[in-house]
Structure 1
Amino acid sequence: MIFKSTTNIDIPVKGVYQALINEANEDATFIDGITGEKLTLDKLSSDSKKLAAGLIDKAGFNRGDVLAIFSPNQVDYPTVIFGTIAAGGIVTFVDSKYTVDEVAYQLKDSGAKYIVIKYIFIWNEEIDEIKPYSFLKSEREVNPIEYSPEEAKSTTAYLSYSSGTTGKNKGVETTHSNIVTNLAQIGCNNDDVNSRASVVLMPNFEFDLPTFCKTIQDYKVNFVPIRQSYGATEYSFTHFVKYAENIPIESIGKPIPNVECKIISEKGKELGYNQEGELCVRGPNVMKGYLNNKEATDAYIDNEGWFHTGDIAKVDEFGNFYIVDRSKELIKYQGHQVSPTELESILNSHQSIDDAAVIGVYAEQEATECPAAYISLKQNVLESDQLKQEIKRYVEKRVSPYKRLSGGILFIDKIPKSSSGKILRKVLRNRIKKEHPFYRKKF
């Protein structure tokens, strides 16, 4: 059974710059919540065109080139994005908490020719090739590249990286049309933030309550919408939004406009109301594909255009959707996605470890999942708290802070696996609840 949006809207098929800058409200402003620095739409338009001219004139930037941004949130961020887009380029976003190895991987995989970096990440190194950001800005304003409807549908604008359950992170190619579509889909509700609003930016993705409250007070923020929603990088971030107050609290809401959804069994059969199965989505917001990875693209998007989310869901008779479980085993730590297989690969390279499995455990005090590891030691290696600490340090040296084993380490005789060799994470999740009901205190 295919479930369709209850509402369809007219969505312009055009380039990101054309849709978001040329047609936005002149009064819109970005405000740095920490410094108070402001960026009006007029200045964003002018600065992005000057940056585009500088990229072309001073850096030899060509249409289709990739520029990486390695920086936390700040008011210059939109200028770099739209300056790159105006020059006909592609933007790839590098997590500001990445390690050197993680940054290097994304830069190489994305094919980035240029990187705009926050000065605090240079580590006081003398690098001749680095130029100040102001160097790139030209005195002239370039005419932004415009796209026909067909070009908007096929041309990549953003290259974000999605943590996968296997292997390295994959580059998600999001087209101009994908982005414009999804913004129109989530902005069609008159009660929500739209192009007429001023936006206060916070520097980091993690939620800090005192700073959040101070920002609301200082800037007299009069609209703080909190919405339950569901989405992924692969479908331009959002596919379901919970708008109505009468929708059950555990529901992710209803599909956004202009999309289709279905729930299928393990054999691919379409299911009906209140039947649990894999959630599949289809619509103009679904990605173009994974960069240089046809095998992964074909594994997730079938020949009818359905994206297979890997999440187990159901829908009630009122059209409200619910996520029941994640067949994708990603751990979500404070807004970041952590791949268990990446951590398992590192753990299994330790000289004392025979096998390892990583799962997410919920830390009530922090209101987030934390990566925890079950470890099977090699013969003649003794379990000890000292060894746990050594293993934790071993991992910490090789990953970003949010990927550390903050959920702790537990020893186990043997990692439970299926006949095909797949880790039985559900068994481990059930086990850890019995072994450590207050695990944050016991690790």
Structure 2
Amino acid sequence: MVIYRATKYDSIEPLPDLDLYTFYFKPNEFNTKFPADRKVVIDGLTGKSLTHSQVRDLSGRMAAGWVDNIGLKQGDIVASFAPNHYDHIVVYLSLLAAKCTITPGNPMYTEAEFLHQISNSGAKALVTVPELLPVLLKVCAKVGIPKSRIFMYGENDYQEFKSVYSIMSSTRDIEYPVQGLNSKEDVAFICYSSGTTGLAKGVMLTHQNLIAQALITMETDKHAHNEHDKSLCFLPLYHIYGLTVLCFNAFYKLLPVVIIPRFDLKTYLELVQKYRITLLSIVPPVAVQLSKDPLVLKYDLSSVRIIQCGAAPLGKEHTDNLLARIPGYLIQSYGMTETTSAVVQSGYDGTAVGSVGIVCPSVECKIVDEQENELGDDQEGEILIRGPSIMKGYYNNPEANAKTFAEGGWLKTGDVLRFDSKKQEFFVMDRLKELIKVKGFQVAPAELESLLLGMPEVNDCCVIGVYHTDEATEYPRAYVVPAPSLKADENLKKAITDYVAKNVTGYKRLRGGVRFLDVIPKSPSGKILRRRIRELAKEQDTPVKANL
């Protein structure tokens, strides 16, 4: 049996038996080194900021308010849908201190997508923004969340809805250690992911999962700590990448983070220059913009020393172009929501182009073939992961758990990797799973296929991802068998494209286009033969251009 383990890191175990709130505020090497009035979060658009001590005070009193004034109880699930706010950290920490579970999600969802997550998670309360109320009020009415349990991000009430700040206790705050939580069993976050297939499922991440992930990061990055570092966050704070790297791990290190609600290249460049940002956390499509857009050359980005690129591999061409403009260390990593972010990461002492690096501390990996026979060096196969950051499981979904976990507690990732014996590093080769990665977001073909099959114009269909080289991302493409009475023409393509666009959030749209077939290839058991469709797509597209 070939099991890959960390080769140059110290183990992070045994893990502290703590709740997350206590973990972040108890004395550590960072909060004892830096002053309590050090700014830890900064609003990039307004300049508002919070210090470490202010976050402690606000989150503690807000936590008491959730319990005393709102009546939230241990284990209650609270949904959060909002663009990035500089005080996201306060809301998250306050709910954790109140012994609640948070289910964060994409504010760009459609009504059906909001309904799926809120109803599936069983959320008892909601924190959001005024712009989303028209759709979320409909959803809350359907699932039974009363208006008195809907709260606003920011300092201001909105109509009858209270600001999270207005519910704070004026007489007490929550002290730590928080009593009555089991770090290994109690769930801190339910983050929705499509996993290896199908509709989005609730990934249960325990307090210990997130503590393990933080300690993994502290160990892998220990030679990169710099007291003058600053980071810039556009990555969504509901996505595992932004949630761990730029929300909680940054707070643990007292790393100042400038936060913006979404990516805009000009704003991003202005803030890198203004705040002398040293650490960039990006995804491949942003790397492409930084390496190609002429606007980048108008700004001073010389402060940047480390670029971390995650969510999908970045190829050699884009790597070379990016580092030619912004010299520094490029760190790539491999992980997923189910692993609480990175479990394989490249180092700061040089790595092969295209590699995602080596195994993180206290993590174990193995490579298997389609029959789950174990493979070794230089052989491509599905990577299985085991370690303290692996999720507890999918929420209320024993069937998915049975399919996802192998004997011995190994998580089946659905990703094909290879360990290069010469370079002693891992390379991502392919995906066994059907998921389409659109700019770091997961799109399940089954979801779009179910939507398409609800159209009377569609007899059968198959959705795959097609790679757009210029933007370094995949886009969904639908292969459709039209109803017999219909003509397979541009009008039908537009009707299908428009229908999907009205029913899903932006990144799930059919930007890879619509193609028509006489029949969808299937196995004798009726399973779609996606490999044949992918081969057909490669024949049709050289290179693929997105249908924007």
Is the TM-score greater than 0.5?
A: yes
Distance in 1 between residues matched to 2:117 and 2:393, nearest whole Å: 17
1:171 corresponds to which residue? 202
Q: 2: CA distance between counterparts of 1:112 and 1:442? A: 37
Amino acid at match of 2:62: L
The whole-number CA distance in structure 1 between the counterparts of 2:11 and 2:402 is: 29
Q: How far apart in 2 are the matches of 1:106 and 1:410? A: 31
The offset of 1:233, in angstroms, is 0.7
1:259 touches 1:283 (CA, 8 Å); kept in 2?
yes
- Opposite residue 363 of structure 1, the aligned amino acid is H
Deviations 1:233-267 (A, max 9, x none): 11111111111453221211101111111011222
Partners of 1:246 and 1:49 in 2: how far apart? 42
Aligned-residue offset at 1:222:
2.9
Asked if 1:63 corresponds to 2:167, the answer is: no
Structure 1 residue 21: Cα displacement: 2.7
- Corresponding residue number in structure 2 for 1:322: 427
- Residue deviations 1:75-107 (CA, integer Å, cap 9, x gap): 121111000001111111021111111111111
Q: Counterpart in 1 of 2:95?
A: 84
The partner residue of 1:12 within 11, 16, 26 is 16
Cα deviation for residue 305 of structure 1 reads 1.0
> Does the 8 Å contact 1:14/1:148 carry over to 2?
no
**Number of the residue aligned with 1:197:** 255
Q: Does 1:181 align with 2:212?
A: yes
Shift of 1:108: 1.1
Q: Which amino acid aligns with 1:95?
A: N
Alignment deviations for residues 113-161 of structure 1 (CA, whole Å, 9 cap, x no partner): 1101112212397995452213322213332463689911111111101
Pick from 23, 26, 51 the counterpart of residue 62 of structure 2.
51
Cα offset, 1:15, TM superposition: 1.3
Partners of 1:109 and 1:223 in 2: CA distance: 37
Structure 1 stretch 326-335 or stretch 131-140: which is displaced more? Answer: 131-140
Alignment of 1:101-140 (within 5 A): 101-123=112-134, 129=148, 130=150, 131-133=161-163, 134-140=165-171
Match of 1:370 among 457, 460, 475: 475
Quick check: 1:5–1:259 contact (8 Å CA) kept in 2? yes
Rounded to whole Å, the distance in 2 between the matches of 1:128 and 1:85 is 22
Q: Describe the superposition over 1:309-340 as per-residue Cα deviations: whole angstroms up to 9, x where unpaired.
A: 11111112243111211011111112211111
Amino acid at match of 1:346: L
Greater Cα offset, 379-388 or 158-167: 158-167
Partners of 2:117 and 2:436 lie apart in 1 by: 20
* SS of residue paired to 2:545: helix
Q: Distance in 1 between matches of 2:481 and 2:426?
A: 39
Asked if 2 retains the 8 angstrom alpha-carbon contact of 1:12 and 1:181, the reply is no
What are the within-5 Å matches in structure 2 for residues 351-362 of structure 1? 351-362=456-467
Contact 1:259 1:284 in 2 (8 A): yes
Q: CA deviation at 1:67?
A: 1.0
Residues 157-178 of structure 1, C-alpha deviation per residue, up to 9 Å, x if partnerless?
1110112454421111101111
Structure 1 CA distance for aligned equivalents of residues 22 and 536 of structure 2: 53
Matches within 5 A, 1:384-423: 384-423=489-528
1:367 to partner: Cα distance? 2.9
- Of residues 262, 269, 290, the one that matches 1:213 is 269
* 1:295 matched to 2:399: yes
CA distance, structure 1, for counterparts of residue 430 and residue 463 of structure 2: 17
Residue 197 of structure 1 aligns with an amino acid whose one-letter code is L
Q: Which amino acid aligns with 1:5?
A: A
Q: How much does 1:396 deviate?
A: 1.4
- Aligned-partner residue type, residue 194 of structure 2: S
> Which segment is superposed worse, 263-272 or 384-393?
263-272
Q: Contact 1:165 / 1:340 at 8 angstroms: preserved in 2? A: no
Moved more, 100-109 or 148-157: 148-157
Matched position secondary structure for 1:358: strand
CA distance in 2, matches of 1:164, 1:258: 23
Spell out the pairing of 1:220-299 with structure 2 (5 A cutoff): 220-224=276-280, 225-226=306-307, 227-299=331-403
| Cα distance change of structure 1 residues 322 and 143 upon mapping to structure 2, 3 Å threshold | same
> What letter matches 1:22 in structure 2?
K
- Counterparts in 2 of 1:442 and 1:232: CA distance versus 1, 3 Å: closer
The structural deviation recorded for 1:302 is 2.4
TM-score, structure 1 as length reference: 0.94
Q: Match for residue 75 of structure 1?
A: 86
Does residue 381 of the first structure (1) align with residue 486 of the second (2)? Answer: yes
Q: How far apart, CA to CA, are the structure 1 residues paired with 2:181 and 2:60?
A: 24
Q: 1:332 aligns with which of 400, 421, 437?
A: 437
**1:279-320 Cα shifts (integer Å, max 9, x gaps):** 001001111111111221122122311111111111122431
Which deviates the most, 409-418 or 194-203? 194-203
- Which moves more between the two structures, 54-63 or 298-307? 298-307
Q: Which range moves more in the overlay, 129-138 or 231-240?
A: 129-138
> What displacement does 1:361 show?
1.3
Q: Which amino acid aligns with 2:206?
A: T
Structure 2 stretches lacking a partner, 5+ long = 139-145, 151-160, 230-249, 281-305, 308-330
- Over aligned residues, Cα RMSD in angstroms? 2.2
Letter in 1 for 2:382: E
CA distance in 1, matches of 2:344, 2:73: 37
How far 1:209 moved relative to its partner?
2.4
Deviations 1:359-393 (A, max 9, x none): 11122333321111111112232111011101111
Q: Count how many residue pairs are aligned between Structure 1 and Structure 2.
A: 441
What is the rounded CA distance, in whole Å, between the counterparts of 1:147 and 1:87 in structure 2? 8
- Amino acid aligned to 2:522: K
Q: Is the 8 A contact 1:31 1:198 kept in 2?
A: yes
How far has the Cα of 1:275 moved from its partner?
1.1
Q: 1:442 to 1:364 in 2, by over 3 A?
A: same
| Cα offset, 1:442, TM superposition | 7.3
